[in-house]
Amino acid sequence: MRGIRLTRRSLLHGLGYASAAGAVSLPFWRSVQADPAPGVPTRLLVVHFPCGTVHDQWFPTGGVNDFVLGNITAPFEPLRDKMVMVRGLDIIRQDGAPGDNHGSGMVTMMSGSAPVDAPDFDTPIAAHPSLDQMLAESVPGFADVPIASVQLAADTRADRDDIYHRVLSYGSPLGDNPWAQPLPPQDRVEEAFLHLFGSIVLGESDGNLEQLEALRQRKLSVTEFLDRDLDRLSARVPSAQLTKLESHRDAVAQLRANLQGSVSSVCVDQVHALEAMLPGGGASHEAVGMAQLRLIKTAFMCDMTRVATFMWAAGTSHVNFSDVIEGVRDMGHHGITHSGGPNEELALIDTWYSERMAQFLLDMDATPDPYGTGSLLDNTLVVYTSEMARGGHTFQDVPVILFGGGGGLSGGRYLEYDGRSFNDLWLSVAEGLGHPLAGFGDENKFTEPLEGLFG
């Protein structure tokens, strides 16, 4: 190690510590007081379902803590203590902006800005990177992983062959191109699997596991440095902080114990189990969607990535539920939103999505985090939302639920705001994940982080 200067920030960064920025800007004893256990990676997952929702069956009744979930969100009741329902957020569309409502909603929701016509594209795109990509590039705890971010989908069919109906994530401009780069999601499970885990399943006998093993050994060595740092700090912090310091020492010990096994014991067995569950060609919407979510879960378990987005369907979804849900007509989801039929059909579809999401989130919550304490869900922030409020092209009161414990989210609450921008939600998320932003998106589309959401 001669010639290498390891700062406290680099130690925390190497461990995947989500609040390294706070540890640099404050005396360390204060970070001991406020920050989560070191070594536990924080993850971000944004999940999109299409075409808005039926408000009177989505939003709860009751107060902050005694809320009663609506019919559509009732499947999330077992996750009540690990969810925050949010009401009163608007996606602020810009008059005269190019593109249609659903595509514009997708772009504005994720990038905070109105779509723009770009010379290199036949469709409007985002002018700025999406929030997930901005954080993937900026949050220290999201670095040091093989794959910076993952974009997956269950179905990307749309009314027109436009990119912005079928994309959530936009990366930074490349070269001299001033426009954000669309990152289309992978909707073929087998290709997504090989992209994420091909080096494991195709070459375990050669050197392909060496990168994962080197990362594990690096994290083990960092725990030793952090132990020595904690030893020095124990003589300097106020006595009132010693208990918190010891809890951090215990967390480092737990991390080391989890890392003692080989890469195979932590990751490879999970990958092989997943491979055996992959659906074949022609699989149903449910099978593809749940398989893609399992890929994301396994990527989190293997620490292949810490940022992911998932789309159940494009903004103008063509998914036909008539053979899946009794009482739904033989037409695409988007078509039903404009057909003048009863809201009950749309509520049935949204409930179907809630049931699958609840199943996935409960699985996350039942899975111990291999790299720290608690479950995968405890150390992940999941944002579940849609590109508009209602399928009839309204953008006031967009459905949003946050799950997990990532960023210090405290569950069991229903929070109502009054006409706040969706961009303010992203400001809160960025702040909770340790990367406060002065603003996000167009200047007329944000004010400040939502009070009381995190912390």
In this predicted model, which residue has the larger pLDDT, 164 or 453? 453
In this predicted model, which residue has the larger pLDDT, 199 or 414? 414
With bands split at pLDDT 50, 70 and 90, how would you rate the model's confidence at 22?
very low
Lowest mean pLDDT among 61-75, 223-237, 412-426: 223-237
Q: Please report the pLDDT score of residue 440 as a whole number.
A: 96
* Chain segment 392-413, per-residue pLDDT in tens: 678 999 999 999 999 999 999 9
The token pair at 83 is: 């969810």
Is the confidence at residue 63, as pLDDT, over 90? Answer: yes
**What is the maximum span of the chain, computed from C-alpha positions, in angstroms?**
72
Q: Please report the pLDDT score of residue 266 as a whole number.
A: 62
| C-alpha gyration radius of the chain | 22
The answer to whether 333 touches 318, Cβ cutoff 8 Å, is yes
**Alpha-carbon gap, residue 54 to 37, rounded angstroms:** 40
Mean per-residue pLDDT, 150-169:
90
Q: How far is CA 229 from CA 11, 93, 219, 270, in A?
A: 10, 50, 15, 34
* Residue 202, Cβ density class (10 Å: 0-12 exposed, 13-18 middle, ≥19 buried): exposed
Q: Please report the pLDDT score of residue 347 as a whole number.
A: 96
With bands split at pLDDT 50, 70 and 90, how would you rate the model's confidence at 35?
very low
The answer to whether 71 touches 57, Cβ cutoff 8 Å, is yes
Q: In this structure, what DSSP letter does residue 260 have?
A: S
The answer to whether 386 touches 392, Cβ cutoff 8 Å, is no
Number of residues in the chain: 455
Lowest mean pLDDT among 4-13, 147-156, 187-196, 378-387: 4-13
| Helix intervals (H) in 316-369 | 333-337, 343-366
**Alpha-carbon gap, residue 346 to 332, rounded angstroms:** 11
CA 136 to chain centre: 11
Lowest mean pLDDT among 40-44, 261-265, 427-431: 261-265
Give whichever of 32-41, 265-274, 314-323 has the largest mean pLDDT: 314-323
With bands split at pLDDT 50, 70 and 90, how would you rate the model's confidence at 391?
low
CA 273 to chain centre: 23
The answer to whether 157 touches 315, Cβ cutoff 8 Å, is no
* Residue 30, Cβ density class (10 Å: 0-12 exposed, 13-18 middle, ≥19 buried): middle
Mean predicted lDDT score pLDDT of the chain: 82
The answer to whether 11 touches 229, Cβ cutoff 8 Å, is yes
Residue 262: what residue type?
A: S
Is the confidence at residue 258, as pLDDT, over 80? Answer: no
Q: Please report the pLDDT score of residue 206 as a whole number.
A: 43
The answer to whether 343 touches 225, Cβ cutoff 8 Å, is no
With bands split at pLDDT 50, 70 and 90, how would you rate the model's confidence at 430?
very high
In this predicted model, which residue has the larger pLDDT, 45 or 276? 45
Q: Which residue has the tokens 């504005």?
A: 108
Percentage of the chain exceeding pLDDT 70: 79
Mean per-residue pLDDT, 286-299:
96
Question: Which domains are seen in the chain, by residue range?
Answer: 12-19+38-208+262-445 (3.40.720.10)
**Alpha-carbon gap, residue 345 to 325, rounded angstroms:** 9
* Chain segment 338-351, per-residue pLDDT in tens: 887 668 999 999 99
Is the confidence at residue 285, as pLDDT, over 60? Answer: yes
With bands split at pLDDT 50, 70 and 90, how would you rate the model's confidence at 102?
confident
Q: How far is CA 209 from CA 194, 300, 370, in A?
A: 15, 17, 18
Q: Please report the pLDDT score of residue 25 as a whole number.
A: 24
